Each structure stands twice: as C-alpha cells, then as structure tokens.
Amino acid sequence: MKKVSLIIPCFNEQDALPIFYVEVTKTMGSLKYNYELIFVNDGSKDSTLDVLRQLAAKDNRVTYLSFSRNFGKEAAMYAGFCNASGDYVAVMDADMQDPPSLLPEMLEILEKGNYDSVATRRVNRDREPFLRSWFAKQFYRIINRISDADIVDGARDFRLMRSEMVSAICTMGEYNRFSKGIFGWIGFKTYWMPYKNIERVAGETKWSFWKLLKYAIDGIINFSQVPLSIASWGGISMTLCAFFFLIAIIVRKLVFGDPVAGWASTICVIIFIGGIQLFCLGIMGQYIAKIYLESKRRPHYIVSETNRDNIDKVR
C-alpha cells in the first residue's frame, strides 16, 4: 500500500488542531493508503504542543516536531519535507482552510500518472480587505514578469506531490525560502485545482498586512535580479539627461550670455538625484543582506522536542 505524508505547520493552533485531526483521519481512513501526519509546532505560545503530545500518545501515525522558537511557516514546511517518508506528500494548514475533503480527488489525479503534483488555487478573494487583494494581484503580475519562477495568482501552499518532487525541494537548501517560487522553479507537471476560499475554523490569521508585504518583497528579491537592473538603467538614463542639460546650459551661456538663475530648482534636482541614489543603494542593500544571511549557513530550524528518533533535529 502506498503511503501519504501530510505536513501540517502549526503556530498557535490549539483550537483548530482537534477539529483538523478528526476531519483528516476521517478522510484518510476512508482511503486505501497508509498515512502519517507530521505536525510541525512552529514555536507556538499556546498549548499546541500539549495537544500534539496527546494526539501522538493515542495515534502512532502522528509525528510531531516542535521547534525551539518560531522559525516561520517556510521553515516548518521545509522541516516537514525533509522528514516525510510517503510516496505522496501534502502540506496543509491546520485551520481547515485547506479542506482534507479535497485529498481523495487530489490523490486520484496523481494516481493517473500524468501529473507530478496537484496544487490548489483560490478562485475568490471574498471577504478579504480590498487593499490586500489589490496588492496581492499586483504582486503576482510583477513577479511573473520579472522572474523565471512561474507563480500562479491565488495559489495556496496546499498541494500534494510525488516524493521525487519533494526530494527536489529538499535539495534547495537556501536560507531565504519562498515556497511559491521554489515550487514553480523546480518545474514538474502541476495540475491546478480551483476551489472556493474558506474561513478558518478557529484562531486567527498570523499574517498582518505588513508581514505579507515583506513576504512579497522577499519573494521578488529571492527570484529576480530585475530590481538590480532597474537601479542601473535608472542611473544611466539620469546621467544621460544630466549630460544633455549641461550641454544646453553651456550653449545658452555662450550664445545668449544668460546669468545662472534659480538655485531653488538646482536644490530640487540635487535632492531628487540624491533620493534616487539612496533608493538604488537600498535595492542593492536588500540583495547584500540576503547574501549575508545565506553565507552564514545557519540552520533553517532547530527541533527541541519530537516523538521520533529518526528526525533531522537541526537542518
């Protein structure tokens, strides 16, 4: 019998977990697959870890990894991927926004053998603040233009993959992780399954607008060098403009003998150019900061407690 590994990153999910567990075991129990549930406790401050210990005590298909602090969802997914042993591996949220009821259909699609992964895509952004959906749309438009990673608008992290694809993801050990980009970058054939967005069952979202904006900027910087060339092209065109202005002024002085007037406008131009220089330095700074973090080779996560002994505790 084939085995399915489900990876569930959990950050303060004490209320959602029991509901999730009941649902997911109901769905998986009705299918002809072995399965394991890998819960990754991402430094929760509530009693998520207690809930996980209880689940693991009564069900030996439950594995939990508890991080020594909050390392972020990306690190939690990475830990799950690197420790999953199934023929098929799925990542899902603990809050039921990624309904387990979709799993049978996803498995069926992979079984047919034409695809390597089935990913989900929300088709509506109802009840989401207007500004947030607008920014999200712009983000997808921009990143697809300027990077090689093919990133689908509305794609969720919820997806089921063949183990080959998961091994490929594990080889991408970069410190700055942006899964939506990584999934797109490694290629493989993906079937996109549309579904309606669902509200979470309990608890609240951990993504503030600013956290999302930062994530979006990280995504662009991790998967594109275009911002760097914007800086250089902007610089070149400004220099050319300034050069032509200079010639115009010299000609005007020689032909008409005008005295130089208007220091206010000069100051404006100086400030403007100064601003652009700082902006470009900032863009470069972003990339250098990434190189800095990458070069330290710090682990992605540190596991402080788990119920298995064959787990990569630091990676």
Binding site for ligand UDP (CB under 6 A): 9-11, 13, 42, 70, 72-73, 76, 93-95, 97, 200, 205-207
Give the H/E segment covering residue 285: helix 263-296
Binding site for Mg ion (CB under 5 A): 93, 95, 97, 200
H/E segment holding residue 62 = strand 62-67
Nearer to ligand UDP, 95 or 116 (CB): 95
- Strand order of the β-sheet with 190-195 is 190-195, 117-122, 155-162, 88-91, 3-10, 34-41, 62-67, 303-306
Which of the choices ligand UDP, Mg ion, none does residue 42 contact, using the CB cut-off of 5 to 8 A by kind?
A: ligand UDP
Min dist. Cβ of residue 226 to Mg ion (A): 30
98 binds, among ligand UDP, Mg ion, none (CB under 5 to 8 A by kind): none
Helices (H), 172-258: 179-185, 209-223, 226-256
| Nearer residue to ligand UDP within complex by CB, 208 or 310 | 208
CB of 170 to ligand UDP, least distance (A): 18
Q: 10 Å Cβ neighbour count for 29?
A: 9
- CB nearer to ligand UDP: pick between 66 and 190: 66
Residues 148 and 185: beta-carbon distance below 8 Å: yes
67 contact, one of Mg ion, ligand UDP, none, CB 5-8 Å limit per kind: none
Taking the alpha carbons at both ends of the chain, their separation in whole angstroms is: 30
Helix axes 48-58, 16-29, angle to 10 degrees: 30
Q: Closer CB to ligand UDP, residue 38 or residue 231?
A: 38
Q: Contact at 8 Å (CB) between 150 and 68?
A: no
Q: Tell me how far, at minimum, the Cβ of 10 lies from Mg ion, in Å.
A: 11
If the CB atoms of residues 7 and 220 are measured against ligand UDP, the closer one turns out to be 7
Residue 76 interacting entry, from ligand UDP, Mg ion, none, C-beta within 5 to 8 Å by type: ligand UDP
